[in-house]
Amino acid sequence: MAITSAFLVTRFAPTFAAIDVGIIDSAIEEATRMVDPDWFGARADDAILHLAAHLALTGAGNLAGGVQSVSAGSVSVTYAAASTPYGGTSYGRHYEFLVRLSGPGARVL
C-alpha cells in the first residue's frame, strides 16, 4: 500500500490536521526513499508511515527533541533533548522499534 498524506493525517489525527499537506507529502517521499522494503518486509509501510510522521514534525531533523511543555498565554514551548536520532517524537521512537524488530536477531552457536 502506498502511504498518502490523507492516510497519515487520518491515522494520527489530530496531530497532523494543521500541518501543510506539502510538508507531509515531502516527508512521505523522503521516508519512502529511506525505508528498504527488503529489510522491513511486511512492516515496510508501518516504517514509512512512522518515519514520515517523525520527519514532518521535526522538519527532517530541525528539532533536537520532542515538545516537553507548551503554554498558551504569551506562547512558550520547551523542547526536550532527544537521546537518539529519532527519539524526538513518539513516531520516531516507534520507527526505531520497527528497525530493531526487523533486524537480524541474536544468533546461537
pLDDT tens digits for range 39-79: 999 999 999 999 999 999 987 444 445 555 565 676 666 66
Give whole-number Cα distances, 101 to 22, 37, 85, 97, 107, in Å: 30, 14, 17, 6, 15
What pLDDT is attached to residue 62?
44
Full domain range(s) for residue 77 = 5-102
Residue 61: predicted pLDDT: 43
Q: Is residue 26 part of a domain?
A: yes
Backbone φ/ψ region at 61: left (φ over 0), alpha (ψ -120 to 50), beta:
left
Q: In 10 A of CB 49, how many CB atoms?
A: 23
Share of the chain above pLDDT 90, in %: 60
Is residue 28 included in any domain, yes or no? yes
pLDDT higher at 81 or 18: 18
Give one DSSP letter per residue of 36-104, joined into a string.
-HHHHGGGHHHHHHHHHHHHHHHTTTT-SS-EEEEETTTTEEEEPPPSSTTTTSHHHHHHHHHHHHHS-
Task: Give the confidence band of 85 by pLDDT, cuts at 50, 70, 90.
Answer: confident
pTM value is: 0.76
Give the chain's domain count. 1
pLDDT score recorded for residue 87? 87
Instruction: Please report whether residue 107 resides in a domain.
Output: no
